[in-house]
Each structure stands twice: as structure tokens, then as C-alpha cells.
Amino acid sequence: MEAGPGAGPRVGAETPVRDLMDRLAAGEAVLTVAEGDRPIGRVTPQSIVARLSS
């Protein structure tokens, strides 16, 4: 996850990484991460790769 406003569909903060990867591979460019009703960040294909390679 990276800081910043999300512009895509919402996912929960506890969504498994595999589920995020599946959604991004299916064509979603950005997923908004939310806790309850409050957006707290976003996930992009680049943010997944950056996290996995760190």
C-alpha cells in the first residue's frame, strides 16, 4: 500500500495480497484501501512489486 488518495474500487485493509494481485491482474489499475468508510491509501501494480522486492 502507498499513501495517497485512491481512485479505484475499495478493498479492506486486511485483504490478502493474493486477492489484490488477482484484481490488479484482471485490469484494475488502482485499488483504494479503506478501514471502515475511511480511505487510508491505495494499491497499484507498482506498489505490489515494490513491496515484494524490498
Kindly tell me if the per-residue pLDDT of 19 is higher than 80: yes
Residue 3, pLDDT above cutoff 80: yes
pLDDT over threshold 80, residue 25:
yes
Q: Which candidate, 3, 7, 23, places its Cα nearest to that of 15?
A: 23
pTM for the structure as a whole: 0.85
| pLDDT digit string, tens, across residues 31-50 | 999 998 899 999 999 999 99
CA distance 23 to 19: 6
Q: What is the mean pLDDT of the chain?
A: 91
